[in-house]
Amino acid sequence: MNLNGLDKSAGNLVKEYQRVYLYILDTLKYQINNGLSENQARSLLREIQLELKRLDEEAYKWSYDVLPQYYYSALSNVDASIAMLSSVNVIGGSPIVMHKQAIEVATNSLYTDLAKNTQYMSEQAKQIIRENGRELINRQVISGESQKRTKKDLKDALVKNGVTSFVDAGKKQWSIDNYSSMAIRTKSRLIHNQGTMNRLSEYRERYPENSNFDLIQISKHSSKCWCGYYEGTVWSISGKHPFYPSVERLPNYPYQSFHPNCKHVYLPYIEDLRGKGEIVNSQYLNRTIKDLNKEHYHKNK
Ligand SMILES: [Zn+2]
């Protein structure tokens, strides 16, 4: 599968997260509106957990079956570019230890993130159902007006800080569906780019005298984000190239993606086949995400 096909499959998994997330919200709202018995609430919770288990299985399958294909597509993309160089033999398939390890780390990391997410949804749902149960007991002694308010308060709380919010390792707050989408999309780029870098390093090891394997180019899709300033530009992995700047001067490096949800990928740039490539405007060297975000915001407001 090529990058577009893989992204479509990622999009389907993201949609599945959104669907389950909405299903849980609706189910909980239904429970709040109808004041179910303890037994009914218990079976509702079981349904929610079953749905989350299915989602978890799908996330597992995607992480271990589809995500690695981003890596393999990067390997074959490097091989295909290099195939046109007459002096070099293409490395081809051969899943060596380096690749196996890279894939294992990436798939474990994505699946762990997604599983944490479903686990969190499940715990939140349980807590909301339990608290709502308590509210139902109290309701018998409160007036109709405050009943209505309590329901509204519960629903507001549900949307504001119930199953909807999730705090990541960097303490940033995400809504559950945005978080899973971000994790899936960002990790697909990281594993792809690592595939490009690792394959090029294999060629460098095999052909240390050949200087064609030191450059990468940033892909293009006419991004409206600041990362668009980097589209099509060429960078040196060793940092020793006479024209092209070191990859270390890219924003967010050594993290191999500009920002969460970024679509850009690293492509091989074979100098002998492509000639002189584009060099980034020097004002975009050594920038941080924070100051690029700020500059971009002011330019576009
Ligand atoms: Zn981007």
Give per-residue pLDDT as tens, 66-108.
999 999 999 999 999 999 988 888 888 756 788 889 999 999 9
Q: Would strands 215-218 and 266-268 be described as parallel, antiparallel, or unpaired? A: antiparallel
Q: Looking at the predicted structure, is the pLDDT value of residue 5 above 90?
A: yes
Please give all residues whose CB falls under 5 A of ion ligand 1, grouped by chain where several chains appear: 225, 227, 258, 262
Unique residue bearing structure tokens 């699946």: 111
Quick check: helix, strand or coil at residue 174? strand
Backbone φ and ψ for 215, nearest 5 degrees, come out as -115, 145
Q: How far is the CA of 109 from the centre of ligand 1 (A)?
A: 21
Average confidence score pLDDT of the chain: 85
Q: Looking at the predicted structure, is the pLDDT value of residue 299 above 50?
A: yes
Structure tokens at 52: 């989350």
More confident residue, 271 or 163: 271
Q: How far is the CA of 120 from the centre of ligand 1 (A)?
A: 28
pLDDT band at 170 (very low <50, low <70, confident <90, very high): low
pLDDT band at 140 (very low <50, low <70, confident <90, very high): very low
CB atoms within 10 A of CB 222: 6
Amino acid at 38: E
pLDDT digits (tens, 9 = 90+) for 29-44: 777 777 667 787 788 8
Give the list of residues 6+ apart from residue 102 with CB closer than 8 angstroms, or none. Answer: 71, 191, 194, 195, 198
Q: How far is the CA of 226 from the centre of ligand 1 (A)?
A: 7
Give the list of residues 6+ apart from residue 280 with CB closer than 8 angstroms, or none. Answer: 229, 230, 233, 235, 245
Rounded Cα distance between 215 and 175, Å, is: 38
> How big is the chain, counted in residues?
301
Q: How far is the CA of 230 from the centre of ligand 1 (A)?
A: 9
Query: Residue 75: what pLDDT?
Result: 93
Residues above pLDDT 90, as percent of the chain:
55
Helix boundaries (H) for the chain: 3-34, 38-61, 67-82, 97-139, 144-161, 176-206, 271-274, 289-299
Among residues 232, 237, 253, the alpha carbon closest in space to that of 204 is found at: 237
The residues that bridge with 175 in the sheet, in sequence order, are 165
Classify 210 in phi/psi space as left (phi over 0), alpha (psi -120 to 50) or beta.
beta
Q: Looking at the predicted structure, is the pLDDT value of residue 270 above 90?
A: yes
Q: Looking at the predicted structure, is the pLDDT value of residue 162 above 80?
A: no
CA 201, distance to chain mean position in Å, is 25
Q: How far is the CA of 143 from the centre of ligand 1 (A)?
A: 53
Q: How far is the CA of 29 from the centre of ligand 1 (A)?
A: 36
